[in-house]
A and B are shown apart, each in its own frame.
Chain A
Amino acid sequence: MATMTQTLPSLVKEISQRKIDAYSVVRARSIHTDESWARAKGFRAPLAQGMMSTAYVSEMMTRFLGAGFVKGGTISMAFVKPVYAGDRLTVHGVVKDRQPENGGTRVTVEVWCVNQGGQTTAIGTASGLEP
């Protein structure tokens, strides 16, 4: 029997240096907050922390599942391309599985982030308990 694909509303995130600074705390010799150090390490600009993408997925999942993500949620992500200050990321999610768990249902979502150039920067899964 065919099943309907459930696509979550996507999120768009503008990554500024100020936001990276707030997330990472400004430190010398950091690829996130020290432009000259980032260039010395071979990057064209300071990088966003990979974990910022997990925060975006967390936002998407909290909107989707609410308390069942905050308590009982999971994220598993790989960061496959750098995200730079000035990039714009779109965060996507598609439900791929529902399984019974402790009298409820665990929903697993495939998640990925794409930059303004169409490159995938992070991929993985997130899950939580459906109300």
Chain B
Amino acid sequence: MISIFQNYGGELLTGLGQTLLCSIIALIFALIIGSAFAIMETMPNKFARVVARVYIEVFRNIPLLVITMFFYVVIPMYIVKISGFASGTVGLTLYSSAFIAETVRSGIQSVDPGQMEGARSTGLSYWQSMRYIILPQAFRYVIPPLGNQFINLVKNSSVLAFVAGFDLMYQANVIASDSLQSMSTYMCVGVLYLILTLPLSYYMRHLEKKLA
């Protein structure tokens, strides 16, 4: 295992960087898109609810790999040329955003409806009550399940390996076939994924204790 780190340190580091970059981009956008669809799903407007429902059901129920392959193969053929890294990151963002939307929705709905009524009766608009009264409480409720989604997202970024996105898993496949030491290579990569996910896991735990 040590020899893998010594001989392929550069490759592993590139892989770690690409995985981290993809995860951060996907995490930020998935959180924004997911929250937006969660709010739409709880809106009084029926049209908005239907649009959100369709989006969530489509991206939640198609395998991540299929979404990614669609962006890698079909989009460059007809629309615009995008690299493996970009298609993987877009696929991961859309896929994760559907799960995050469902998580955040459950948070919004677990806030007592009386809160909204109370806020509206003090003269706040619907958006103001959402922004200042409902959402802060909703996010606090859903920190633990949201943490799960974030960790899943980091691990799911290994889909980049399929579309030559130069991430950790891609480098692992390359190194394993080059060094012919599959077992120790995948062990190394497992440790590197732990290095990415464990701090995230601890941070979410810390956040949960601080806010709840």
- Decide whether A and B assemble into one complex: no
Contacts from A to B (Cβ < 8 Å)? none
Contacts from B to A (Cβ < 8 Å)? none
